[in-house]
Structure 1
Amino acid sequence: MRVLGRVGRGLLWVALLVLVLVLAAVVWLKVTSTPRVSGTVTLPGLSGPVTVTRDQWGVPHIRAQTSDEDAMYALGFVHAQDRAWQMDFQRRVSQGRLAEVLGAAALPQDRFLRTWGFYRAAESALPALSEPSRRMVRAYTAGVNAGFAQGKLAPEFRILGYAPEPWTDVDSIAWSKLMAYDLGGNADDEILGTHVVKRLGEPGLNEVLPPYPQNAPTILSREELGLTGQAPRQGSEAAILPDATLRALQAHLDAARALGMERVPGKGSNDWVIGGSRTASGKPILADDPHLALSSPMLWYLADVQGPRLKAIGATIPGLPGIVIGRNDRVAWGVTNVNPDVQDLYIEPENAKLTERTEIIKVKGQPDVRLTVRESAHGPIISDVGAGEVGPRVALKWTALQPGDTTLDAFLGLNYARNWQDFVTALEKYVAPSQNFVYADVDGKTGYYAPGRVPIRQGWDGSLPVPGDGRHEWTGYIPFARLPHTSNPADGLVVTANNKVVPEGYPYNLANIRNWSEPYRAERITELLTQKPRGLTVDDVKRVQLDTVSLVWRDLKPFLLATQPDGDLSRRALELLRGWDGNERAGSVEPTIFEAWLLELQTMAQDELGDETRVNSLAVLNQLRANGELCRDERDEAAGRQDCAGELQASLKRAVDRLAARLGPDPGGWTYGKVHTVASNHRAFGGVKALAWLFNHSAPTNGGTNTVNVARPDPDTMQQTTGPSYRQIIDLSDLNRSVYVGTLGQSGSPFGNHVSDQQKLWAAGEYLPMSTDTKDWGKTNTLTLRP
């Protein structure tokens, strides 16, 4: 017993020693990563003093006395202080240099990124920028490097054992290329469409990728566009590719998915602008909430940046100079994704001339990897990455890879816009990704514009891969003046939710593409805003932005409730749904059952197209209405799944069985918030058990598939991994009564004071004051930067 006692005491001392070492490591990481936020620092490259006052939420309010370039320098400095590792990771993504620090597991992503050439495209964009923009970029770069030089390395650098290289001007453009991929193009739809045609024939396209409903709302009406006739409908000849080629193309989508860059139904955005005729103040109100992948740190960084001329506040992206979404002292703007078809896949003939380049990928702990990238006149060959040539050579043509991208000119121009004409002039420089810009100003004017390069195709619609033999070439881009736009609309309202922009009759290839989001969010926003035709306030707009009533449930309800239950658990679940109003709240049981059931229904095409295929809610509705072929499942014929009634019964049973296995046998205890939690996970360490607890952040959330406050459950976990990444509501009658909020916090370090202090507000539907007035900032810390 004495021996055991000595062993026990020894183990206790070992445990205590380990605990002390862990605590010491935590203290060391905190001390060495916490940036300085008060006092005075002397920095090279400034022309005059700048104050950086962080408010009680860590939002910097930058005041430069001498020049706007100094203000942009300070923005780069605070970005580097608070988000250095995020910036370096994003840069490495754009460069295809992840394996260099993460090891061989990141090689598929590096091959994808190098083949598409994101960083090369950024290099070609820098010379196209105007000289004023170049000066701002140079100032921002100098500020970032001054921040790096402070020596406060983020914990990720310590853990992975490297330090950031100096920032460059190209780095400040490169992230925009990744956003262009995340928000634009349809190469993935072309790959899926080819697969569909091969398995189901051309009629299958409308079943798996349903067209936008004819009676659903468009952003602009025929009257607003001045349309009188009908534009001819175009199509594409079916392209048949070997399975090996389709698998090679799919490898790109898989690599993008691993980076969180996939296009999924939960991504998208809402924005709208309300004219003064509809508001209580008589001045416009503008709202925006971009829906993107949620991560730790959060994508956005709130900032207030002011110099002698620059007076902008809103959401920035670390790595990019300027305010991306927000307002200045006269003008407000918001963005959602248009997602026109700006990508085409070309099947190159055997005699097509190709160029080659060799990319050297450094791999941590392993020899370098050589990657040969081939390009045709259309763009990179994306069908043989990492696998050698596998059949037909498929090239990608994409507006974001074309030279002369001046998108950064456009965003910096918006920061300075004083009126509608300035706003439009800035957007003429916009290239990609095409966005729905809503506008409002203090004089009461409102407007909308959808800028960007959108290809013109003659005689084909770009929905499927085409031969690269010269018969399917772009003949230019839609002229800027002919892109969809309106100013001071007669009804005082513009609503966008990634829904169809233009009705039939628009003369260019926008009306009949398949890329539009389902109309549910646009319908619900319009429904709520028009319930009160006059006297709308910021509080009214908050309620709309946070609405969680499911119109998908309204549409599917008659079919779901007519289901014949298979077993007692299915019967009890159906009874719970019968009285439900469709409001998806974290404290309710009904949304758990509904969303789990919908996720099962969305797999109805997997027997035809493979286990990765998921159809959207509109496709499910169409199948149930028509008792469609996708409801049939040859794999389950013995169980009677020959029609949609059988599919409904079987999918409900699968859903409730999964929920029972996870939450217990009583459906009354299946509270939504138990499974539906936001998963803001770290890009590198989110899946590493030993570190995930430190870097990941979670909380129960309201909302679901296609609710206005969108919160689509993940098919595997039912967690929310995409959603409103930022919210803003701008009151043009009193700009400092505007509000905004992010998903986590300003700090990128898990040891920072503001790493997640916005998450509870965001999840509860609360906001921060979007104010430039010191009385709204609470407790502050001020750091003075001096030359």
Structure 2
Amino acid sequence: MRYIGFFISFSITLFLGVVLSLQFGSVPPIGKLLDPNHGFWQNAYSEDQIPEEKVRMKGLKGPVKVTYDENLIPHIFAENEEDLYRVQGYITAKHRLWQMEFQTMAAAGRISEIVGPIALELDRMTRRKGLPYSAEISLPFLQKNHPDTYLLLEAYSEGVNHFIDNLNESRVPVEYKILDYRPEQWSPYKSILLLKYMADMLVSDQDLEYTNLRNLIGEELMDKLYPQFPEQNDPIIESEKVWDFEPLNIATPENIQYPDQDIFVNPLPQPEEGVGSNNWAVSGSKTKNGHPILANDPHLKLNLPSLWYAMQLTSPTHSVKGATLPGALGIISGFNENISWGETNATRDTRDWYSIQFKNKDRIEYLYNDQWIQSVFRIEEIKIKGEADYIDSVVYTHHGPVVYDRTFRSERQDVNFSLKWTAHMESNEQKTFLMLNKAKNHDDYLEALNYYTSPAQNFVFASRSGDIAMKVQGRFPLKWEGQGKFLMDGNNPDFEWKEFIPNEHNPATLNPSRGFVSSANQHAVDASYPYYVFDSKYEHYRNRRLNSRLEEMKEITIEDMMLLQFDNYHLHAAEALPLLISNLPEEKVRNLDLVSKKYLDQLKEWNFNTFPNQEEPALFKTWWEQFYKLLWAKWKIEGKPIEFPNKYQTTLLLKNSPEDILFDNPETDKTETAADLVWESFELMVAEMNEWGEKEEDYTWANFKGTSVVHLVPNFKSFSKYKVYTGGTSGVLNATSERNGASWRMVVEMGEKVKAYGIYPGGQSGNPGSKYYDNFLKKWANGEYVNFDLRSEQENDNVLFTTIFSN
């Protein structure tokens, strides 16, 4: 039945692929696609039906054994590290080749090569913000300064390329067949580029939006609505932390002058609400078995094939298991016999914008420190399927690439904005993970993190010896108070990054007295930390819910931690909904019609959970969004980017100042208060829900939010899963929204024998025709896990098949 379903799905996807290709100017070769020996029919298989027993691979120094468990998770046993990563490359390519290549082509600004001119502007922006450039400068840096890492990157590439070179035409992944192109050779550059791509996915800045805001509302109101620290700051590093270092000094320049201009450009895409993560570790003093327990669930885009690929890597020196990124070496979030670790995004402003003044239209020179400085041109040649190449000239200043210039200007103004970003700098993040994979203790963990620069991450740690720790790690510029918050003057040296905060001064904690460490994308520290720390996207709800639960929990088990990862309590609703209800005018509530009264009664009785069968989350979401829009829409000007106050500050405003002039709509004769907006938004909610009811009677939460796990090519809808039945929402611990959520869940108990469980929303195979393409999805949606314990080479339980690699 699965294969009948695959043929139907493929037929629909093929049709969409043809339509897509017609848009792009070329049509996939139908004859090839329907060829019974080489076409899509040959992709209707599951990997256990065609197991490889033996593989001959040049370059191996010894035999390598790969054992697949019942979930198609490979366990690689090698006699040395080069062989280990060479076979990791082969195995990953075997199951995720198209995904690996598609993601790195996206990171390189090369999607137009596959789909034609529709992707040109996306490719242009990718290149103009310097992603390929950043990988290019890191490549020779690794070759010269980290030859050990580069050697393993080469081994991995050789493994990928051995698979490509021996790939039978009939087994080429179906996406290549539909889009009519073929895999190219892998290289260390592509693995480096993949990690730079992750930096781009997770970084944000609102410099341009904040500049417009300052001009619109002034700094006094900005400080009120966008404070440095929230009223209820529950930071990653506990407030009791004593900083035991002498900080570097930096003085705020006097009479600092920002460029005086409103900005009309489309800012770079920012991480969507819901892209974040949770991680924590509890000490043995709080657990039932007396061993530390670590948990990690990164919240990212929910895609098929999954962002993650699970595997175990074993050599004579270590055995490590967890989730890796297809294209990267080693395990990214996982554990070995001695330690476990995981990451969350450390929201931190590491990307700044400078206004550049060029001498004339040729842009050969720009003004810096009142002197004309030579600029550098980088020629970007973008190949376009079915069309001539597009040549883009990108100007680089010493700050970085001029992302927005005359070719990206708004109709309202000329712009020359240069981007300075830590991801543009030489780095070796890959070494961090290679070292963590083999780490034995807290000192090893800290040493590994010294190589990590971007994107900034909160690394949680637990060890079998009993330690728990957290460190906020990245390359952080040493900034004076407020530096980088707004568009800066590229001519003024006072705006320069002078140096970086030393790694040993980055916020960290080891074995705090409270018995746990945790992070959920909130502020890293409180005001006692001696350096300026800023970002515009801190989280304010998941962290407080998580910490309050960890504070009160005792005799904690692995099962408790699983339930906490799947916790559906909506803290924002618990704080905001009573305020909305209390601001409803009593006389109007008394005269509500039956449907409106029903909605209000449901909300009054809500327990603030977001289970899939509940209706109240849909009502609250709709009401809050209408209220928020009414309150802040008056600031919106077409084409002018603005960062609106977050829902935490908006809720505080409603709580503390319901008569504030901010609630007034200047376009009416009346002076509105919060009560007016609450009532109007309630009526809009009722109308929207009634309209929903006309389309679909069911507004239970799972149906209303419609969580979807979508193929990396969104047009390939038959290879996607829609309206997955699961709860949660952004801002709760189970942060499963429409398109984002826990892309990987892991819980590990660091006892004498390490116990581990994991799950992600997809499957090990990248082939839509395989039963392993999405076999984890239902378990993930239900909050279930699969056993993730380390396997020995001799273990034979629940083995699908074994492959032996030899020279």
* Aligned partner letter, 1:583: N
Match of residue 804 from structure 2:
784
Match of residue 545 from structure 1:
565
CA distance in 1: counterparts of 2:609 and 2:252, whole angstroms? 40
Deviations 1:16-57 (A, max 9, x none): xx9x99998799425258565331121222222222222111
Correspondence for 2:40 among 24, 29, 34: 29
* Aligned partner letter, 2:486: L
**What displacement does 1:420 show?**
0.8
* Root-mean-square deviation over aligned CA pairs: 2.8
Please state whether the residue corresponding to 1:729 is helix, strand or coil. Answer: strand
**What displacement does 1:746 show?**
1.1
Structure 2 residue 189 is the aligned partner of structure 1 residue 170: yes
Correspondence for 1:214 among 231, 251, 265: 231
Structure 2 residue 528 is the aligned partner of structure 1 residue 528: no
CA distance in 2: counterparts of 1:181 and 1:633, whole angstroms? 38
* Aligned partner letter, 1:559: L
Match of residue 677 from structure 1:
706
Match of residue 766 from structure 1:
784
Does the 8 A contact of 2:288 with 2:556 survive in 1? Answer: yes
CA distance in 1: counterparts of 2:651 and 2:37, whole angstroms? 52
**What displacement does 1:647 show?**
1.6
Please state whether the residue corresponding to 1:111 is helix, strand or coil. Answer: helix
Map 1:440-451 to 2 at 5 A.
440-451=462-473
* Aligned partner letter, 2:632: A
Does the 8 A contact of 1:273 with 1:494 survive in 2? Answer: yes
Q: Structure 1 residues 556 and 144, CA, compared in 2 at 3 Å: closer, same or farther? A: same
Match of residue 602 from structure 1:
628
Please state whether the residue corresponding to 2:230 is helix, strand or coil. Answer: coil
**What displacement does 1:697 show?**
4.8
**What displacement does 1:212 show?**
3.2
Match of residue 631 from structure 1:
663
Match of residue 321 from structure 1:
329
Deviations 1:414-438 (A, max 9, x none): 1111111111111111111111111
Runs of 5+ in structure 2 lacking a partner? 1-11, 16-29, 359-365, 368-372
CA distance in 1: counterparts of 2:623 and 2:63, whole angstroms? 59
Please state whether the residue corresponding to 1:498 is helix, strand or coil. Answer: coil
Correspondence for 1:706 among 708, 731, 736: 731
Map 1:606-685 to 2 at 5 A.
606-610=633-637, 615-625=645-655, 626-627=657-658, 628-634=660-666, 637=668, 642-664=672-694, 669-684=698-713
CA distance in 2: counterparts of 1:491 and 1:734, whole angstroms? 24
Match of residue 50 from structure 1:
64
Match of residue 182 from structure 1:
201
Map 1:81-480 to 2 at 5 A.
81-129=94-142, 130-149=146-165, 150-151=167-168, 152-186=171-205, 189-206=206-223, 209-226=226-243, 239=258, 242=261, 246-248=263-265, 250=266, 252-253=267-268, 256=269, 262-350=270-358, 351-352=366-367, 353=373, 354-384=375-405, 386-387=407-408, 390-402=413-425, 404-458=426-480, 460-468=482-490, 469-480=492-503
**What displacement does 1:558 show?**
2.1
TM-score by length of 2: 0.86
Does the 8 A contact of 1:330 with 1:419 survive in 2? Answer: yes
Q: Structure 1 residues 391 and 482, CA, compared in 2 at 3 Å: closer, same or farther? A: same
Please state whether the residue corresponding to 2:548 is helix, strand or coil. Answer: helix
Q: Structure 1 residues 366 and 438, CA, compared in 2 at 3 Å: closer, same or farther? A: same
- After superposing the two structures, state which structure 1 stretch, 452-461 or 389-398, moved more: 389-398
Does the 8 A contact of 1:220 with 1:484 survive in 2? Answer: yes
**What displacement does 1:204 show?**
4.3
**What displacement does 1:750 show?**
0.9
Runs of 5+ in structure 1 lacking a partner? 1-14, 257-261, 713-719
CA distance in 2: counterparts of 1:336 and 1:479, whole angstroms? 21
CA distance in 2: counterparts of 1:327 and 1:385, whole angstroms? 50
Structure 2 residue 73 is the aligned partner of structure 1 residue 59: yes
Q: Structure 1 residues 372 and 423, CA, compared in 2 at 3 Å: closer, same or farther? A: same
Q: Structure 1 residues 229 and 408, CA, compared in 2 at 3 Å: closer, same or farther? A: closer
**What displacement does 1:653 show?**
2.3
Map 1:708-727 to 2 at 5 A.
708-712=733-737, 720-727=738-745
CA distance in 1: counterparts of 2:386 and 2:199, whole angstroms? 32
Does the 8 A contact of 1:265 with 1:517 survive in 2? Answer: no
* Aligned partner letter, 1:79: T
Does the 8 A contact of 2:573 with 2:608 survive in 1? Answer: yes
Q: Structure 1 residues 549 and 123, CA, compared in 2 at 3 Å: closer, same or farther? A: same
Please state whether the residue corresponding to 1:450 is helix, strand or coil. Answer: strand
Match of residue 576 from structure 2:
556
**What displacement does 1:275 show?**
0.7
CA distance in 1: counterparts of 2:730 and 2:439, whole angstroms? 36
* Aligned partner letter, 1:133: T
CA distance in 2: counterparts of 1:607 and 1:176, whole angstroms? 40
Q: Structure 1 residues 381 and 23, CA, compared in 2 at 3 Å: closer, same or farther? A: closer
**What displacement does 1:779 show?**
4.4
Match of residue 508 from structure 1:
531
Deviations 1:476-506 (A, max 9, x none): 1111111111222222211111111111121
Q: Structure 1 residues 634 and 744, CA, compared in 2 at 3 Å: closer, same or farther? A: farther
Q: Structure 1 residues 388 and 501, CA, compared in 2 at 3 Å: closer, same or farther? A: closer
Deviations 1:283-339 (A, max 9, x none): 100001011111111101111111222311001000111100101111100111112
**What displacement does 1:127 show?**
3.0
Does the 8 A contact of 2:312 with 2:321 survive in 1? Answer: yes
Q: Structure 1 residues 458 and 674, CA, compared in 2 at 3 Å: closer, same or farther? A: closer
Q: Structure 1 residues 434 and 586, CA, compared in 2 at 3 Å: closer, same or farther? A: same
Does the 8 A contact of 1:374 with 1:380 survive in 2? Answer: yes
Does the 8 A contact of 1:196 with 1:208 survive in 2? Answer: no
Q: How many residues align?
A: 738
Deviations 1:359-380 (A, max 9, x none): 1111111221111101111001
Q: Structure 1 residues 630 and 263, CA, compared in 2 at 3 Å: closer, same or farther? A: farther
Question: What is the percent sequence identity of the aligned residues?
Answer: 28
Match of residue 730 from structure 1:
748
Match of residue 361 from structure 2:
none
CA distance in 2: counterparts of 1:207 and 1:571, whole angstroms? 36
- After superposing the two structures, state which structure 1 stretch, 759-768 or 379-388, moved more: 379-388
CA distance in 1: counterparts of 2:349 and 2:324, whole angstroms? 27
* Aligned partner letter, 1:205: M
* Aligned partner letter, 2:180: G
- After superposing the two structures, state which structure 1 stretch, 389-398 or 49-58, moved more: 389-398
**What displacement does 1:131 show?**
2.2
Q: Structure 1 residues 665 and 302, CA, compared in 2 at 3 Å: closer, same or farther? A: closer
Structure 2 residue 54 is the aligned partner of structure 1 residue 40: yes
CA distance in 1: counterparts of 2:189 and 2:562, whole angstroms? 38
